[in-house]
Amino acid sequence: MPHLHVEYSDNLKNLEVDRLLLRLNHALVGSGQFAEELDIKSRAVAMASFRVGVAPVERGFAHLKLAILSGRSAEIKRQLSASLLEVLKEAVPGTPGLDIQLCVEVIDIDRDSYSKVHLPG
Amino acid sequence: MPHLHVEYSDNLKNLEVDRLLLRLNHALVGSGQFAEELDIKSRAVAMASFRVGVAPVERGFAHLKLAILSGRSAEIKRQLSASLLEVLKEAVPGTPGLDIQLCVEVIDIDRDSYSKVHLPG
Amino acid sequence: MPHLHVEYSDNLKNLEVDRLLLRLNHALVGSGQFAEELDIKSRAVAMASFRVGVAPVERGFAHLKLAILSGRSAEIKRQLSASLLEVLKEAVPGTPGLDIQLCVEVIDIDRDSYSKVHLPG
C-alpha cells in the first residue's frame, strides 16, 4: 500500500508511461501520507479494446485508481486525488481531434484483511 | 464515470469485443442514469492466464464490473446489473464443450474524492 | 464469486503462473468458504509498466485481490488473506538483487447487485 493503477486508452500515442509513473510516485511521496517510498506500487496498462460513449467520435481516456489503507479522511483523499490529477494533466496534453477524459479515483483497502510480506533482495 | 471493465478468458474465441462494448454502452445510455453518453468509459481485456476452479474441465468466464458514483439505490444497481447481463448473454452464447460463467458486479466510486477533467479535442 | 486477481511485475521471471493459480484455487477450495469449486475464477496479469517507489533500485511485486460476496466476517477474511499469502510466498521466493513485495487484499462484492448466469458446455 498504496497501490496505484493507471489505465489508458492506447490512442494516447505520446504518453510517456514510465515517466508518468515516476512522477505519480513522487507526488505520493510528497504528500507525506506514506511512511516509506518503497511502499508505493504503481502500474500502467494500455487498453487496446475500449469504447467511450456511443457517438462515432475519436475519444480516449486515462484513469488512475489509488488504493490506500482505510482510515484516511475525506479531505486527505481529496488532496491526493487532486495532486495525482495535476500530474496526469501534465502528462496528457489536449490533442486536436481527440476528445480526452482524465479521472482519478481513490478507494479504501480493508486494513483488517490486508496481508503483506517484504522480501528484500 | 461510469467506468465499465470487461474481463474475459481468452478461450471465448468468438467474442466480438468491440461490438460488445458498444452494446453495453448503449444499454447504459438507455438506462437513463447517466447525464452524457460520453461519460461512459468501457474497456475490455482478454485474460490469457486464468483458472476456473480446480477440476480438469474446460471452462471460461466473462466478468463485467460497472463502477458508478456513489449514491444510487440498490434497486437502480440491480437494474443496471441485470441489463448488462442481458447484453453479455447475447454476446456469449453457450458453447458445447466449454463451461462458461457470466457475471456482473456493480461497485461504488467514492464521489467525494473523484476528480476529473475533460479535454475536448 | 469468488474472483481472484493476480497482478505481478514482469521482472518476477521464474513465476509459474498457471501453477500458482491452481494452488491459489486449491487454497480457496480448502477454506470451505465457497460452495462449489467451479465458482472460483482466478486470473493473472503480468505488468510490463510498473514502478515501485522512487529510488533507483530493482524492485518487483505480486498483488492478489480476492473479491467475495459481502457478508463474511473480518476473521474469515483475515484467514483467507493469510492462506493466500502463504501460497504466494511459496511461489515467489526471495531473489538476490531484487526487492519484492507480496500483498493480499480482500474486498467485498455487493451481493445485492451481483448477477450471474452459468452456461454448462
pLDDT per residue rounded down to tens, chain C (121 residues): 899 999 999 999 999 999 999 999 999 999 999 999 999 999 999 999 999 999 999 999 999 999 999 999 999 999 999 999 999 999 999 999 999 999 999 999 999 999 999 999 8
Task: Kindly report the average pLDDT of chain A as a whole number.
Answer: 97
Q: Which residues have a Cβ under 8 Å from the Cβ of B39 and sit 6 or more positions away?
A: A53, A101, B1, B2
Compute the distance between CA of residue B60 and CA of residue B52 in angstroms, rounded to an integer: 7
Task: Say if residues B62 and B99 touch (Cβ distance below 8 Å).
Answer: no
**Whether B119 and A96 lie within 8 Å, measured CB to CB:** no
**Concatenated DSSP letters of B92-119:** S--BTTBEEEEEEEEEEE-GGG-EEEEE
Place of cell 483458472: B51
Closest of A58, A61, A54 to residue A10, by C-alpha: A61
Give the pLDDT confidence of A61-108 residue by residue, as tens digits. 999 999 999 999 999 999 999 999 999 999 999 999 999 999 999 999
Which of B16, B21, B110, B115 is the best residue to mutate to test the A interface, defined by the most A CB atoms within 10 Å of its own CB? B115
What's the pLDDT at B121?
A: 86
- Flag whether pLDDT at A121 surpasses 90: no
What's the gap in Å between the CA of B6 and the closest CA on chain A?
10
Give the pLDDT confidence of B39-66 residue by residue, as tens digits. 999 999 999 999 999 999 999 999 999 9
**Whether A38 and C50 lie within 8 Å, measured CB to CB:** no
The model's confidence at residue A33, banded by pLDDT at 50, 70 and 90, is very high
What's the gap in Å between the CA of B23 and the closest CA on chain C?
18
And the C-alpha cell for C57? 533500485
* Interface predicted TM-score (ipTM): 0.96
Instruction: Note the CATH architecture for domain A3-113.
Output: 2-Layer Sandwich (3.30)
Closest of A42, A23, A44, A25 to residue A33, by C-alpha: A25
Task: Say if residues B27 and B45 touch (Cβ distance below 8 Å).
Answer: no
**Subunits touching A (CB < 8 Å, at least 3 pairs)?**
B, C
What's the pLDDT at B18?
A: 98
- Flag whether pLDDT at A1 surpasses 90: no
The model's confidence at residue A109, banded by pLDDT at 50, 70 and 90, is very high
Q: Look at strands B3-9 and B41-47 and give their pairing.
A: parallel
Average pLDDT over every residue of B22-31? 98
DSSP B74: H
- Flag whether pLDDT at B1 surpasses 90: no
Compute the distance between CA of residue B119 and CA of residue A89 in angstroms, rounded to an integer: 9
The alpha-carbon radius of gyration of chain B (Å, integer) is 16
- Residue A4 Ramachandran class (φ > 0 left, ψ -120 to 50 alpha, else beta): beta
**Whether A58 and B117 lie within 8 Å, measured CB to CB:** no
Please, how many CA atoms are within 13 Å of residue A81, restricted to the half-sphere of its CB?
25
Task: Kindly report the average pLDDT of chain B as a whole number.
Answer: 97
Place of cell 491526493: A80
Name which of C54, C80, C102 is nearest A117 (Cβ-Cβ).
C102
What's the gap in Å between the CA of A119 and the closest CA on chain C?
5
Place of cell 467514492: B110
What's the pLDDT at C1?
A: 81
Task: Say if residues C71 and A99 touch (Cβ distance below 8 Å).
Answer: no
Q: Which residues have a Cβ under 8 Å from the Cβ of A90 and sit 6 or more positions away?
A: A23
Average pLDDT over every residue of A22-30? 98
